[in-house]
Structure 1
């Protein structure tokens, strides 16, 4: 897999430490805060929801400019870092154990389905030269259980004439890079937070310096080890920015200075990208240094203007239930979204067999709007995945399972939807493009 991108009670002063809901973090909702204590920050919840939607849209359409418009993975890692810093007010070992516990059961459900399909298609990791084969190939399968490394998958599964494209396994396993990076950030957080509280500027900027070394070709680390180190470097700055947000460091920096420095950093990122384009041109997910700098500057600006909403204001309030639902099911949405994009293909292909599709004009119209129909169909499929697998997130968090936790008040009761959780996302293109257009390769969000 290549390295590029695939998750308030009282209002504090602007920029002050806030309660984050850990975006990229695959952590699950926490119990509602007791009366009188700060609760969820709906601004951060909104950011997480936007990041998730952007990941899905990116993997569907493959638009490179989305990596500039909204760097989802950097935002998700920053929100996760903020929540992790808050959680580390408790004993570190218990916090890490809790994060891992909330991550694994949803992953296991996803892995069970994916591995069953791979094995049913005849894949044998012990005999697959693409994965190394032998004992190593079998051992790597354990990354579907505990994502400390890269999960293996067959380069070609099934056939091009089957229900799914022959590269579906690569597309399905692709988003798991994010869980690997998240897990390593969680494990490293006690040390990172200790260092940040003693040498904040050094700890904040060290990941960017590391990216300049391993993300520019100055030092080349081969294979998945290189990918893992690069991921850690590219998004490490955003994770530590989450620490800075929680610790109140950003409020000490004059806004004009923070915005000016961020703008210059982002300008340099675009300049670097212009001279070092990736396989998709200006897609920052393929340009590590540009991705790291752009994401860092973008997150600083978002957190500098963080309004710390107790409730979504104005017209945004109409999206409250969807924001709540996506935050409570962020892990499920992130894990399954690529599989769901692929699932739209055999469904939409049935439209070509409809009686009124026997003309070239009708077929051409469907060809031209195929990806749009995929976008329309993926959301009801996402709702089905939430109903079918989302409750596992509740079990992992030791809560009573809920089918549709959107914050709506149950009859005769109070709202149950506001809970603390987090994904993010990242990231593949659809396994099969619309008829007549070439399929895109696997890419991160």
Structure 2
């Protein structure tokens, strides 16, 4: 949230819908609250009954598909997005084609397949974001710290992409993120202009959100989520340097990535402006981003289970204690109002999730047996940016739509119009409509053929 708009130290973790209450002021100058599967194709088989095996030609379609997947994996980020990563792939083992080469076989890579573990985490994170913005449950962040999870997923895929030239990767990330943001921003900016907003030079942040884009109070519920895009964008720009530093001494650097949030919490709170807001967000989720690097480089897989459990419980314990013991200061134990507690709780929670993925090799491959669920997870990941950007507008529009329902006697009698759960359901119907109407922009940004649904 822009520091001019939110006021000095104002937090943002409020719920939406009926029963909205203004949150207690926070001493921190930032806002919280809040990113196609490939089936295994058969390879050409050797021709038996001949004097020797003959290697079948590697079809051109596989080479094109691998190139396409490589580009998509490079460009992946989720949600709300940020860029939440629409494509997550696991690297397959090479397959040996008999009779090719003197060594008895030439290794050919299999087509990549989806990593459904990452896809499922991202889908759940987006659902949790929409749920929190509907009900405003303070405990939601402790049950599932969605933003920390999304940053860690983006970090591991960024590390994968940086096996390619860094400049090319950064340009690809910008290409995937900015067009959906611009498309969404046109509607929000025009609506605020109609409602008496007068922009100044800071409107440039609506072109490249390196700082909080400005706006007026009328559109605040729509644009206050942009802190995630701004933070994600800075992580993308800093990743080539961060990854190089991380690989010098992985474990010490990973531990030290919690130092900035401790410094802001106990030493110096930073400036009360856009720079300060950005520093708080980057510091809060730096460990989660670096944890993505650690997963990609195999650092987590080499850690002993006992060490991981102890460190994770310690981080969770400190984060939970700090949130509960500072309720008087923040007016709530909501992690989205307390960045220091958020940083440590997310660190402990995400550490367990990422370590379990690396250590046990969890891939959720069984999910493909449930077609509808698998399809839903695919749509959530391929339309993560759209869902994240448009979900607040969907919740905003749900209120006047439900007000119209009161004018229909049958609806008033038989529908639970006063229930926030009813609003939650209407909100998801509107989100689905936005996915159908606006999701194609993500395809265009990825240089793919626009589709109604992926």
TM-score by length of 1: 0.77
Match of 1:75 in 2: 149
Match of 1:86 in 2: 160
Task: Report if the CA contact (8 A) 1:64-1:280 is conserved.
Answer: no
Match of 1:26 in 2: 83
Structure number with the bigger relative contact order (C-alpha 8 A, sep ≥ 6) is 1
The answer to whether 1:244 aligns with 2:297 is: no
Match 1:150 to one of 212, 222, 233: 212
Residues 123 and 231 of structure 1: is their aligned pair in 2 closer, same or farther, counting only changes over 3 Å?
Answer: same
- Secondary structure of the corresponding residue to residue 113 of structure 2: coil
Moved over 4 A (4+): 27-35, 314-318, 362-365
Task: Report if the CA contact (8 A) 1:104-1:146 is conserved.
Answer: yes
Residues 382-430 of structure 1 deviation map (CA, whole Å, 9 limit, x = unaligned): 111111110110110111111111xxxxxxxxxxxxxxxxxxxxxxxxx
Give the stretch that moved more between structures: 187-196 or 29-38.
Answer: 29-38
Residues 152 and 314 of structure 1: is their aligned pair in 2 closer, same or farther, counting only changes over 3 Å?
Answer: closer
Matches for 1:147-186 after TM superposition, within 5 Å:
147-155=209-217, 157=218, 169-186=219-236
Match of 1:355 in 2: 409
TM-superposed deviation, 1:264: 1.5
The answer to whether 1:95 aligns with 2:169 is: yes
Task: Report if the CA contact (8 A) 1:207-1:234 is conserved.
Answer: no
Match of 2:305 in 1: 255
Q: How well do the aligned residues superpose, as a CA RMSD in angstroms?
A: 2.5
Unaligned runs of 5+ in 1: 11-18, 126-137, 158-168, 406-445
TM-superposed deviation, 1:226: 1.2
For the residues of structure 1 that align with 2:33 and 2:369, how far apart are their CA atoms? 31
Match of 1:289 in 2: 340
Unaligned runs of 5+ in 2: 2-29, 41-72, 93-108
TM-superposed deviation, 1:31: 10
Residues 10-64 of structure 1 deviation map (CA, whole Å, 9 limit, x = unaligned): 9xxxxxxxx8964454266569889614432110000000000000000000001
Residues 312 and 279 of structure 1: is their aligned pair in 2 closer, same or farther, counting only changes over 3 Å?
Answer: farther
Match 2:437 to one of 373, 385, 388: 388
Structure showing greater radius of gyration is: 2
Give the stretch that moved more between structures: 21-30 or 215-224.
Answer: 21-30
TM-superposed deviation, 1:356: 5.0
For the residues of structure 2 that align with 1:225 and 1:331, how far apart are their CA atoms? 25
The answer to whether 1:399 aligns with 2:448 is: yes
- Secondary structure of the corresponding residue to residue 219 of structure 1: coil
Matches for 1:123-138 after TM superposition, within 5 Å:
123-125=197-199, 138=200
For the residues of structure 1 that align with 2:255 and 2:184, how far apart are their CA atoms? 35
Match of 1:268 in 2: 318
Match of 2:116 in 1: 42
Figure out how many residues of one structure are paired with residues of the other and give that number. 368
For the residues of structure 2 that align with 1:37 and 1:248, how far apart are their CA atoms? 22
For the residues of structure 2 that align with 1:29 and 1:271, how far apart are their CA atoms? 35
Match of 1:336 in 2: 390
TM-superposed deviation, 1:145: 1.4
Residues 135-183 of structure 1 deviation map (CA, whole Å, 9 limit, x = unaligned): xxx221121111100111112x3xxxxxxxxxxx011001111000000
Matches for 1:191-210 after TM superposition, within 5 Å:
191-210=241-260
For the residues of structure 2 that align with 1:357 and 1:341, how far apart are their CA atoms? 19
Residues 318-355 of structure 1 deviation map (CA, whole Å, 9 limit, x = unaligned): 41000000000000000110111001011000122123
